[in-house]
Structure 1
Amino acid sequence: MPTRWKKIGIIGGLGPLACAYFYTRLVGLTQADSDSGHPEVILLSSPDVPSRLAHLLEGGPSPVPALRRVAKRLERAGSEVIAVPSLTTQAFLGDIAAAVAVPVVDMPTAVAGRLRAVGVQRPALAVTDGTRGAGRLHQALTADGLTPVYPGRHDQAQIQECVSLVKAGRSQAARLLFRSLASAPWVAAGDAFVIGCTDLSPLLPDLPSGGHDVGDLYARAVLAHATAAP
């Protein structure tokens, strides 16, 4: 346990449940023997950030100005490292990082490195259409020597439907649908099932054997970045 943590800022609301759940993972993964052993965390859930998916898939309003504004607010509040716990939003990581002087933790790079470190070679990815289209996670995985496995069109549409249900507050319906997808045939083509969207993370807290959640992988990376030298 470090003698001092860097203050962690979280760009929240991407979506709200995903970021709330991500914070619980930060707490659960922190090695501390008392309240005072945890890092200071500033979570700013800003509802005015335009949909990242709508921008990437349909040419909707750009979320960049709002994301940059939230990052600057976190920096002004004292954040020393910033987390963006949304793989889809990583498409705009460069724009966010350019707005602040503190480091913004790269999620695709962190996920790829940690999957490789635990021996995963063919991750079966449950990701959004936006994450697939942007390609940042795919590039990070292949750069680390991994071969991503994706669902076909029907199951991909079902995964996207799960995300839409979560954002609409219908988590129970999303949970039932997502559990069926986790055992779909395409998953067997990989060597590890990977929840690749933090909106989906709360739907399957008990991962199947050998499974991984990008929220957990990213939380570990953020904590590593926030570890200050004694």
Structure 2
Amino acid sequence: MPTRWKNVGILGGLGPLACAHFYARLVELTPAGNDGGHPEVMLLSSPDIPSRLAHLLEGGPSPVPALQRVARRLEDAGSELIAVPSITTQAFLDEIAAAVAVPVVDMMTAVVEQLHTAGVRRPALAVTDGTRRAGLLHRALTAAGLTPVYPGRDDQARVQECVTLVKAGRSRTARVRFRSLSSGSWAAAGDALVIGCTDLSPLLPALPPGSHDVGDLYARAVLAQAATS
């Protein structure tokens, strides 16, 4: 148990439910015996940040100015480190970090290191269509010697449908569909199921044994960096 926590800022709205769920998991994973044992957390959910995938894949408006603005607001409010719980948004991590004087926790490094430490070598990845096309997580995993396994075309379409339902506020429907999907044969082709999108994280709160969620992996890394002695 640290003697003091650094104040944590969560750059939210990426999407809104994903970041709210990340905050809940941050609380649940904190080794605290009472309310006073938790770090101070500021979550700023800013839904006007332009689509990160639309910019990366289609040349849409850059999200960088909005991301930097939210990061500065968190810093100004007293955040001593900043979490960005979105795999896709890690593409802009350097630009976000350049806008503030406090550390911005690298999600991709945290995910890859913890999966490697857990002995995962063939992660069965549940990710969005855009994440697959952008290849950010894929490249990070393969660079570390891991071999990602993906759903086939039909199952991938169902994964994407679950994300679309979440963003449309239909998480209950998405939860039922994703629970069935995550136990499919494609997941068994890897040595561990990995929820590779924080929009999917709220849909499977009870992970099957041996499975991993990128949001949980990131939360642990954020807490490790927030702990002070």
Shorter chain as denominator, the TM-score bin is over 0.9
Q: Tell me the number of residue pairs that the alignment of Structure 1 and Structure 2 aligns.
A: 229
1:54 aligns with 2:51: no
DSSP 3-state at the match of 2:223? helix
Taking every aligned residue pair, what percent have the same amino acid on both sides? 78
Residue by residue over 1:92-142, the C-alpha shift from the partner in whole angstroms, topping out at 9 and shown as x without a partner, is 112111111111111111001001111111100001122222322222212
1:153 aligns with 2:153: yes
Task: Show the counterpart of 1:116.
Answer: 116
Q: Please report the TM-score for the alignment, with normalisation by the length of structure 2.
A: 0.96
In structure 2, how many angstroms separate the alpha carbons of the residues matched to 1:25 and 1:72?
24
Task: Show the counterpart of 1:140.
Answer: 140
Task: Show the counterpart of 1:86.
Answer: 86
Task: Show the counterpart of 2:107.
Answer: 107
Superposition map of 1:29-48 within 5 A? 29-48=29-48
Task: Show the counterpart of 1:65.
Answer: 65
Q: Please report the TM-score for the alignment, with normalisation by the length of structure 1.
A: 0.95
1:96 aligns with 2:96: yes
Q: Indicate conservation of the 8 Å contact 1:56/1:130, yes or no.
A: no
DSSP 3-state at the match of 1:220? helix
In structure 2, how many angstroms separate the alpha carbons of the residues matched to 1:143 and 1:97?
23
Paired AA for residue 136 in structure 1: L
In structure 2, runs of 5+ residues without a counterpart are: none
Using the TM superposition, name which of 145-154 and 21-30 deviates more.
Answer: 145-154
In structure 1, runs of 5+ residues without a counterpart are: none
In structure 2, how many angstroms separate the alpha carbons of the residues matched to 1:55 and 1:180?
32
59 and 177 in structure 1: CA distance in 2 versus 1, 3 angstrom threshold: farther
Segments of 4+ in structure 1 off by > 4 A? none
Residue by residue over 1:123-182, the C-alpha shift from the partner in whole angstroms, topping out at 9 and shown as x without a partner, is 000011222223222222122221111112222222111111100001122112212220
Paired AA for residue 93 in structure 1: L
DSSP 3-state at the match of 2:208? coil
Residue by residue over 1:22-63, the C-alpha shift from the partner in whole angstroms, topping out at 9 and shown as x without a partner, is 001011011111211111111101111112232233332221
Task: Show the counterpart of 1:14.
Answer: 14
Report the RMSD for the aligned CA atoms in angstroms.
1.2
Task: Show the counterpart of 2:170.
Answer: 170
53 and 161 in structure 1: CA distance in 2 versus 1, 3 angstrom threshold: farther
Task: Show the counterpart of 2:188.
Answer: 188
Paired AA for residue 203 in structure 1: L
